């Protein structure tokens, strides 16, 4: 995903978080611009490469927050669902949160720990699936809660587990810098507003859940928390937990860890409840790469390089966010001698990653490595134009060559259609 104005990705800073203690401005010097741990020529192109060593460093930071505050942290599968890499993060987390029965099943079968489920709307069949797979089920409206709680509870009993219920609330406080990712924007369908609680019975509800953030620092959480308490503090007594949702960019270098811990500790002390966080990006932030190869170079008003990847297929958030992904060794236009516009192989005119400058001219066969491609990339891939999906590779700690975990082909494309 992208970064807000004035923010820079980890690779551009050239530092990786030091994992042995809660960070306080101390970082391990290791420039990824110079020290990528694998040879891009040694993997298929295109391919996603996830570096397990970087995953484990992120996990160590999250675990430090857990140990200091006593909060629980869940992996949001909507952001990162590479189950072959779960061993590298599950030791530091308490479970997963799911937005669909498929994600809930993946969390139950492949990750372990607690499974929390939420969807903006559910039908009865989905409720039964969620109920059988989940430990906590979050509803988006009183109508759905009142209609489905008994059905979900029955499904849980039949599966041999207890099921807690929570309600997602809308604090009506917006921190969103990109409207499409703002859960509290005008007329948002996400979360119950305070006015909807009038005359409602909260019997059977054990938790509240709010989510307002997207790639934010702890100051945004502090403002959100103040709004949440203004609107919902009187409902907290008698509850077991409050879930602060996702969007906490905890593992980026400038994140205010001290403020986060202070907010969590203070809230738990005031209300005597368990706090949950459910970041998706923070777990795999800057831990993955997309390796691509130059197919052709043409002059069309400016030098253009055509890659064997496709932005709408393999990194759709570049268009949806939108943002300009970092490329190892590349600079901004004009910063280096040779500037190119990088485009993909699909028929979409807007299949463009951006303009980049390089030290040497690009030629067919050159490999380019896009950064921060573990999160919201693999989970969003599609086969528009029949473009093949990138291979998935995992670089284990201490290894020099990534292992190819998964490749795709025609049958994967055909199997999604009829």
Rounded distance between C-alpha atoms, residue 378 and residue 309, angstroms: 13
Residue 6 within any structural domain of the chain = no
Structure tokens belonging to residue 142: 């009183």
Residue 134 within any structural domain of the chain = yes
| CATH value at residue 165 | 3.20.20.10
Are 271 and 146 in a shared domain?
A: yes
For 341, counting Cβ atoms within 10 Å of its Cβ (0-12 exposed, 13-18 middle, 19+ buried), the class is middle
Residue 202 within any structural domain of the chain = yes
Are 197 and 320 in a shared domain?
A: no
Are 157 and 305 in a shared domain?
A: no
Residue 76 within any structural domain of the chain = yes
Please say whether the beta carbons of 282 and 248 come within 8 A.
yes
Are 188 and 87 in a shared domain?
A: yes
Intervals of the chain under pLDDT 50: 1-34
Residue 20 within any structural domain of the chain = no
Are 124 and 267 in a shared domain?
A: yes
pLDDT value of residue 176: 75
284, 309, 331 — which closes off a domain? 284
Are 403 and 370 in a shared domain?
A: yes
Residue numbers of the domain that contains 400: 288-415
pLDDT value of residue 16: 29
Please say whether the beta carbons of 344 and 385 come within 8 A.
no
Are 278 and 293 in a shared domain?
A: no
Please say whether the beta carbons of 353 and 333 come within 8 A.
no
254, 284, 314 — which closes off a domain? 284
* Paired residues of 166 in beta bridges: 138, 207
Are 267 and 292 in a shared domain?
A: no
| CATH value at residue 330 | 2.40.37.10
The rounded radius of gyration (Å) of the Cα atoms in the chain is 22
Residue 35 within any structural domain of the chain = no
Q: Residue 151 is inside which H or E element, if any? A: helix 142-158
Are 214 and 122 in a shared domain?
A: yes
Are 119 and 252 in a shared domain?
A: yes
| DSSP code at position 401 | S
C-alpha closest to that of 9 among 412, 326, 322, 319: 326
pLDDT value of residue 35: 56
Please say whether the beta carbons of 378 and 1 come within 8 A.
no
* Paired residues of 274 in beta bridges: 241
| Residue 113 region by backbone torsions, left for phi larger than 0, else alpha for psi between -120 and 50, else beta | left
Are 329 and 271 in a shared domain?
A: no
Rounded distance between C-alpha atoms, residue 147 and residue 398, angstroms: 52
C-alpha closest to that of 130 among 377, 120, 416: 120
Please say whether the beta carbons of 94 and 74 come within 8 A.
yes
Structure tokens belonging to residue 166: 């929570």
231, 264, 284 — which closes off a domain? 284
Residue 148 within any structural domain of the chain = yes
CA of residue 48 relative to chain centroid, distance:
15
For 68, counting Cβ atoms within 10 Å of its Cβ (0-12 exposed, 13-18 middle, 19+ buried), the class is middle
Helix residue ranges, H only, 165-248: 218-232
Q: How many domains does the chain have?
A: 2
For 77, counting Cβ atoms within 10 Å of its Cβ (0-12 exposed, 13-18 middle, 19+ buried), the class is buried
pLDDT value of residue 178: 83
Are 342 and 197 in a shared domain?
A: no
Residue 42 within any structural domain of the chain = no
C-alpha closest to that of 286 among 59, 55, 23, 63: 55
């Amino acid at each position: 995903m992208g970064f807000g104005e004035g923010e820079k990705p980890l690779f551009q800073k050239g530092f990786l978080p030091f994992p042995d203690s809660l960070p306080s401005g101390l970082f391990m010097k290791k420039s990824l611009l110079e020290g990528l741990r694998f040879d891009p020529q040694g993997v298929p192109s295109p391919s996603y490469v996830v570096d397990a060593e970087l995953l484990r460093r992120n996990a160590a930071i999250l675990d430090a927050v857990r140990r200091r505050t006593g909060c629980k942290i869940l992996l949001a599968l909507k952001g990162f669902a590479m189950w072959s890499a779960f061993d590298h993060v599950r030791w530091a987390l308490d479970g997963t949160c799911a937005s669909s029965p498929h994600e809930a099943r993946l969390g139950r079968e492949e990750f372990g720990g607690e499974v929390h489920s939420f969807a903006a709307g559910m039908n009865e069949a989905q409720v039964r699936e969620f109920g059988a797979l989940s430990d906590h089920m979050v509803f988006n409206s009183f109508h759905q809660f009142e209609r489905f709680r008994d059905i979900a509870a029955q499904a849980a009993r039949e599966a041999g587990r207890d099921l807690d219920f929570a309600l997602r609330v809308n604090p009506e406080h917006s921190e969103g810098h990109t409207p499409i990712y703002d859960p509290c924007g005008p007329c948002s369908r996400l979360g119950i507003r305070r006015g909807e609680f009038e005359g409602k019975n909260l019997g059977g509800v054990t938790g509240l859940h709010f989510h307002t953030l997207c790639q934010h620092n702890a100051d945004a959480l502090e403002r959100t928390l103040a709004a949440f308490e203004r609107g919902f503090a009187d409902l907290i007594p008698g509850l077991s937990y409050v879930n602060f949702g996702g969007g906490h960019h905890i593992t980026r270098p400038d994140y205010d860890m001290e403020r986060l811990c202070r907010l969590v500790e203070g809230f738990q002390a005031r209300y005597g409840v368990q706090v949950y966080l459910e970041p998706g990006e923070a777990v795999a932030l800057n831990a993955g790469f997309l390796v691509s190869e130059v197919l052709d170079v043409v002059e069309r008003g400016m030098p253009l390089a055509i890659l064997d990847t496709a932005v709408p297929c393999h990194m759709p958030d570049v268009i949806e966010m939108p943002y300009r992904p970092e490329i190892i060794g590349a600079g901004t236009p004009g910063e280096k001698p040779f500037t190119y516009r990088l485009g993909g192989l699909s028929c979409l005119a807007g299949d463009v990653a951006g303009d980049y400058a390089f030290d040497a001219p690009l030629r067919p066969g050159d490999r380019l490595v896009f950064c921060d491609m573990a999160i919201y990339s693999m989970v969003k891939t599609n086969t528009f134009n029949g473009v093949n999906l990138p291979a998935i590779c995992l670089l284990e700690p201490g290894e020099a060559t990534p292992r190819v975990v998964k490749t795709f082909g025609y049958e994967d494309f055909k199997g999604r259609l009829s």
